[in-house]
Chain A
Amino acid sequence: MKIVVLGGGPGGYVAAITAKRAGADVILIERDELGGTCLNRGCIPTKTLISSLELIDKIKKSKELINNSTDFTINFSSLIKRKDSVVETQRKGLSMLLKQSGIQVIKDNGELISPKTLFLKNSSQKITFDKIIIATGSRPANLPFLEFDGNKILSSDDLWNLKDIPKSLLIIGAGAIGCEFAWIFHLLGSKVSITEVMPRLLPMADEDISHTLERLFKKRKIDFHTGVMIDNLKKNNEELEITLSSGKKIYAEKILVSVGRSYNTESLKNAEIKFGKKGEIIVDEYLETNLDGVFAVGDVNGKWLLAHVAYKEGEIAGKNIMEKKEKMVYSLVPSTIFTISEVASVGLKEKEAIEMGIDIKKGLFPFRAISKAHAIGEIDGFVKVLADRESDTVIGAHIIGPKASELIHELALAIGLKAKVKQLREVIHSHPTLSECIAEALADIEKEAIHKIDN
């Protein structure tokens, strides 16, 4: 069987490798660099920058520990160089992985003209196949009255072309992307303001998470405005004057618009694929579109715009394309955000669980009552665990604080295995670790946390 995968991001390359291992002949077509948004413009470059900047921030805050410490400034071009080098290493690794897997990679722009034919625009040739997996991804969504111009009004992609650190930056949209870049540019030294139309930062997170996050923004004096829209934009020479619906005026050198993502489907319009209301490709639970043998994975199917979901979908579609029918299940997707603090969630949010009529019991434990958090100097945040009172099983977990993105998986495992709170509490957590915060949050469900002080 001859298979084509269109798009070499997380969804596409995993689908290609899986299909190849299942016995197909696989060609992967990518118009740009391998690794997609995640590796080239998203997850990896941002985490590389955050890691460098947080290290510098820690050193700045630890000056009293260092003899002869002098003032130092950030070397922006070196930061970007390190980011580029990390990305390049990963890209080479990926290219090698595909080569060793026996997958042919073609760099071209493929347009789907029938369920079994692609037209390659750059080389002006047709390529035919038995089945195809579409993994064309997504890109930053425009605001109609604030269209990206690559100079003053920027997308998260445009940010990578900045030669200098802007003195001031207004970020529109306080979702994951907005909140991550707010932290990055704050650490770079820009004066950052962030606005959100919904009433809180990270509107999709559990409310307690947003509450703590807003406090952290206040502590670091990052200006934020929630429940507001943009009423007006005026360009005064180099400076932009933005009026919010609250009447407040904000002045900024540049604007980052991070209000969502659009699906990359322009090259698929002539193939009678069914699209949803937001322009996403509609797929069934096997990730197949309305056309036989045409599958879609990753951002472009509009399910969850997360690299790790794309990986899983790639795996499932890569198998399903060879007739092994496996359903994609989304009930257990952890999500992580790397802003002023790490934020991680899995399962139901408190409000969701209550709305579903579940009789919940909850435990909440602050990192500031954990010795290890003091040892590493990061005491903000908490672990919150939600359980079903009747079955005693964990149904949701929300963490804000140090290493939240790593810690969440213990609770994801608990949900996945339908473990009972009682069983989980039998597990001894090593001391001194941040994981003790999970043990204490679980104990707090029964009001038995040892280190909790009730005021």
Chain B
Amino acid sequence: MSLENYKFHKEHTWVKLSGKSKKVKVGITDYAQESLGDIIYIELPEVETHVDADTELAEIESTKTSSPVISPVSGVVVQVNEELVEHPEIINEDPYGKGWIAVIEMDNADELDDLMDFEEYESYLEEEK
């Protein structure tokens, strides 16, 4: 899978860009789903709520832990992935694709400059270990 259009946050979340649109999909990284283990519940944000970058967007429960999902950007939640309500395990199966969590309409696209590309994220993971 090509992750060229993805930008990464140090709290192991991603943003997927589509052209110049201010609406971006967000989700958690493969590393995040792997460390969480089997995901059994996600508390999704409410549509139309505003979220700041670096704050809690959602909360995920796995069989071994629970963890906040940190928003990589600031903006308004315009859509959430309702599929995850009944099937949160999709995040484990396809974290960069069908396991997306929400679509956020960004306040300020400049925030994307603070995020890492995939290569940078990979070396960041190496350092973390």
Q: Which residues of B contact A218 (CB under 8 A)?
A: 43
Instruction: Pick from B17-25, B64-72, B100-108 the stretch touching chain A.
Output: B64-72
The closest CB in chain B to the CB of A374 belongs to B63
Interface residues in A351-399 (C-beta closer than 8 Å to B): 366, 368-369, 374, 379
Residue A219 at the chain B interface, CB threshold 8 Å: yes
> What's the count of A-B pairs with C-beta under 8 Å?
27
Measured between beta carbons, the chain B residues less than 8 angstroms from A366 are 65-66
Q: With a CB–CB cut-off of 8 A, which chain B residues contact A374?
A: 63
Establish whether residues A379 and B66, one from each chain, have CB atoms under 8 Å apart when the complex forms: no
Taking a contact as CB atoms under 8 Å apart, the answer to whether A455 and B43 are in contact is no
CB of B32, distance to nearest CB on chain A (Å): 7
Separation in Å of the B121 CB from the closest CB of chain A?
16
Q: Which of A215, A219, A453 contacts B65 (CB 8 A)?
A: A453
| Chain B residues within 8 Å of chain A by Cβ, number | 14
Please tell me if B61 contacts chain A, counting CB pairs below 8 Å.
yes
Is B41 interfacial (CB 8 A cutoff)? yes
B37: shortest Cβ distance to chain A, in Å?
A: 8
Residues on the A chain within 8 Å of B63, using CB? 368, 374, 379
Main SS of chain A's interface residues? Answer: helix
Contact with B along A422-444 (1 / 0, CB 8 A): 00000000000000000000000
Contacts of B61 in A (CB 8 A): 368
**A219 B41 Cβ-Cβ under 8 A:** yes
Interface assignment of B49: CB less than 8 Å from any CB of chain A: no
Q: How far is the CA of A366 from the CA of B62 in the complex (A)?
A: 11
Write out the residue numbers on chain A whose beta carbons fall within 8 Å of the beta carbon of B66: 366, 368
Residue of A nearest to B37 (CB): A453
Q: When A453-B35, A455-B35 are in contact, do A215 and B64 touch as well, CB less than 8 Å? A: no
Task: Please report the C-alpha to C-alpha distance between residue A219 and residue B36 in the assembled complex, in whole angstroms.
Answer: 19
Across the interface, which residues of B come within 8 angstroms of A369, CB to CB? 64-65
Contact between A368 and B41, CB atoms less than 8 A apart = no
Q: Which residue of A lies closest to B12 (CB)?
A: A455
- The contact string, 1 if C-beta is below 8 Å from chain A, for chain B 58-94, is 0101111111000000000000000000000000000
B41 contacts A455, CB within 8 Å? no
Chain A contacts with B in 399-455, Cβ cutoff 8 A: 452-453, 455
- State the CA gap A41–B61 with chains docked (Å): 37
Q: How far is the CA of A390 from the CA of B32 in the complex (A)?
A: 37
Residues of B contacting A452 with CB < 8 Å? Answer: 65
Q: B1-18 interface mask toward A, CB cutoff 8 Å, 1 = contact, 0 = none?
A: 000000000001000000
Contact A368 B64 (CB under 8 A): yes
| Residues of the A chain whose Cβ atoms lie less than 8 Å from the Cβ of B36 | 455
Among B12, B41, B59, the one with the most A-chain Cβ atoms within 10 Å of its Cβ is B41
Closest beta carbon of chain B to A159's beta carbon, Å? 31
For B12, list chain A residues within 8 Å (CB). Answer: 455
Asked whether B32 lies within 8 Å of A455 as measured between CB atoms, the reply is: yes
Residues of B within 8 A of A379 (CB): 63
By CB atoms of chain B within 10 A, which of A368, A369, A379, A452 has the most? A368
Instruction: Write the B29-69 contact mask toward A (1 if CB under 8 angstroms, else 0).
Output: 00010011000010100000000000000010111111100
Smallest CB separation, B41 vs chain A (Å) = 6
Specify which chain A residues have a CB less than 8 angstroms from the CB of B62 in the assembled complex: 368
In the docked arrangement, what's the CA distance between A366 and B64, Å? 8
- CA–CA, A250 to B65, complex, Å? 35
Residues of B near A453 (CB, < 8 A) are 35, 64-65
A368 and B64 CA atoms in complex are apart in Å by: 5
Q: Distance (Å) between the CB of B108 and the closest chain A CB?
A: 27
Task: Give the distance to chain B from A365, nearest Cβ to Cβ, in Å.
Answer: 11
Complex contacts, B32 vs chain A, CB 8 Å? 455
Give the nearest-CB partner of B28 in chain A. Answer: A455
Complex Cα spacing A309 to B104, Å: 51
CA distance A374 to B63 in the complex (A): 8
- Closest B residue by C-beta to A211: B59
Given contacts A218-B43, A219-B41, contact A455 B67 (CB under 8 A): yes
Inter-chain CA distance A219–B43, complex, in Å, is 9
Q: Measured between C-beta atoms, what is the minimum distance from A217 to chain B in Å? A: 11
Residue of A at shortest CB range from B59? Answer: A215
A5 to B122, CA, bound (A): 75
Once the chains are docked, how many angstroms separate the CA of A118 from the CA of B4? 87
A-B contact pairs, 8 of them (CB 8 A): A368-B61, A368-B63, A368-B65, A368-B66, A369-B65, A379-B63, A452-B65, A453-B64
Using a CB–CB distance below 8 Å, which chain B residues touch chain A? 12, 32, 35-36, 41, 43, 59, 61-67
Task: Name the 4 nearest CB pairs between A and B, nearest first.
Answer: A455-B67, A453-B65, A369-B64, A368-B64
Using A215-B43, A369-B64, A455-B12 as known contacts, list a sample of 9 further A-B pairs with CB atoms less than 8 Å apart, ordered by residue number in A. A215-B59, A366-B65, A368-B61, A368-B65, A369-B65, A453-B35, A453-B65, A455-B32, A455-B65
